[in-house]
């Protein structure tokens, strides 16, 4: 059932996108949640079960890595592969927004 | 302390309904204490306004529970270090916040159940064929007993498997 293994396809889900953004600096799970919530003004709230699932998945795909710490409350940081994928996804999302702008803003001038 | 039993129809079929019912029971002062055979044990206490959520996770580490705690979900009980129930205030954020990870929650248990059910099914067919042969009375009784056990096992894994399958398909369709 790997149908939803979108990481393999290089396309990030919205939650994964924001978690990778948060991990451009070392953070542990709950800090990631808070960071994402503040960054998006509460628009994106990631639940603990989703967060845990995604962290495991990102580690397995080597997009993030755990930092050596004092055991409890493990912190993570984005890897080079993760960063490359994030940049690619930003481009993809930017292209989508550009497309939408082109159409929607064109509408007004017709 | 007073305790009472609440029957379960099986998590594969009635997870959401039963979590909601547990919330209503807590409002009446009956709180989930632990899992019981084919159900839950509730213990009497002060009425409380709470919601319950359930997650499947094999042998999670301390960080798992810490994440829940930090986001307002208190761990209530677990079964077999794999099924975990959490209690939160009514405004606590949902434990699953996107479709992709919710899908994975069910896909994973579905796969597990499916594997066991498949093994039992093969065993059941094998026994069925064996029973067609001529056996002495004693051996035949033994085989029938084993087949009965396998049948029970098949019902308790095959039906949940189908339940999870339907649930996942429905989730996928909702998009």
In a domain? residue A80: yes
Confirm whether A109 is domain-assigned. no
Distance between CA B147 and CA A8 in Å, rounded? 43
Note the pLDDT tens digit of each residue in B120-144: 999 999 999 998 888 888 999 999 9
pLDDT tens, residue order, chain A (110 aa)? 344 445 555 679 999 999 999 999 999 999 999 999 999 999 999 999 999 999 999 999 999 999 976 666 899 999 999 999 999 999 999 999 999 999 998 776 65
In a domain, A67, yes or no: yes
Q: What is the CATH number of the domain that holds A37?
A: 1.10.10.10
User: Does the residue A2 lie in any domain?
Assistant: no
Ramachandran region of residue B35, left (φ > 0), alpha (ψ -120 to 50) or beta? beta
How much is the ipTM here?
0.88
The two tokens of residue B106 are: 């069910």
DSSP characters for B1-34? --EEEEE-S-HHHHHHHHHHHHHHHHHTTEEEEE
Chain B partners within 8 Å of A15 (Cβ): 97-98, 100-101
The answer to whether position A9 is within a domain reads no
Is pTM beyond 0.80 here?
yes
> For residue B93, which residues of chain A lie inside 8 Å, CB to CB?
45, 47
Domain contains A94: yes
Q: Is B71 on the interface with A (CB under 8 A)?
A: yes
User: Which sequence spans correspond to the domains of chain B?
Assistant: 3-88, 99-174
Residue A47 domain flag = yes
Residue A98's domain comprises 14-104
Residue pair A64/A76 in contact by the 8 Å Cβ criterion: yes
Which residues of A are less than 8 Å from B95 in CB distance? 47-50
Per the domain annotation, does A110 fall within a domain? Answer: no
Structurally, chain A folds into a number of domains equal to 1
């Amino acid at each position: 059932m790997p149908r939803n293994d979108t990481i393999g396809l290089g396309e990030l889900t919205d939650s994964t996108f924001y978690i990778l953004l948060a991990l451009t600096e070392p953070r542990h799970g709950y800090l990631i949640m808070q960071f994402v919530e503040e960054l998006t003004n509460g628009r994106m709230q990631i639940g603990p079960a989703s967060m845990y699932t995604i962290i495991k998945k990102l580690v397995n795909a080597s997009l993030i890595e755990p930092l050596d710490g004092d055991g409890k409350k493990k912190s993570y940081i984005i890897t080079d592969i993760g960063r490359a994928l994030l940049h690619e996804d930003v481009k993809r999302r930017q292209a989508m927004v550009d497309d939408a702008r082109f159409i929607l803003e064109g509408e007004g001038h017709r | 302390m007073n305790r009472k039993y609440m029957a379960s129809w099986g998590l594969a079929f009635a997870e959401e309904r039963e979590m909601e019912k547990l919330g209503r029971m807590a409002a009446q002062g009956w709180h989930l204490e632990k899992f019981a055979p084919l159900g839950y044990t509730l213990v009497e206490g002060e009425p409380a306004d709470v919601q319950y959520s359930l997650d499947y996770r094999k042998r999670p580490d301390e960080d798992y529970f810490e994440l829940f705690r930090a986001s307002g979900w208190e761990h209530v009980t677990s079964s077999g270090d794999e099924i975990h129930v959490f209690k939160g205030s009514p405004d606590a954020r949902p434990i699953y916040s996107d479709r992709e990870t919710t899908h994975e929650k069910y896909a994973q248990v579905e796969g597990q159940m499916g594997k066991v059910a498949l093994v039992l099914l093969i065993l059941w067919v094998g026994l069925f064929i064996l029973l067609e042969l001529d056996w002495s009375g004693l051996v035949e009784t033994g085989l029938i007993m084993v087949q009965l056990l396998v049948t029970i096992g098949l019902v308790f894994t095959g039906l949940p498997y189908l339940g999870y399958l339907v649930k996942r398909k429905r989730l996928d369709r909702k998009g």
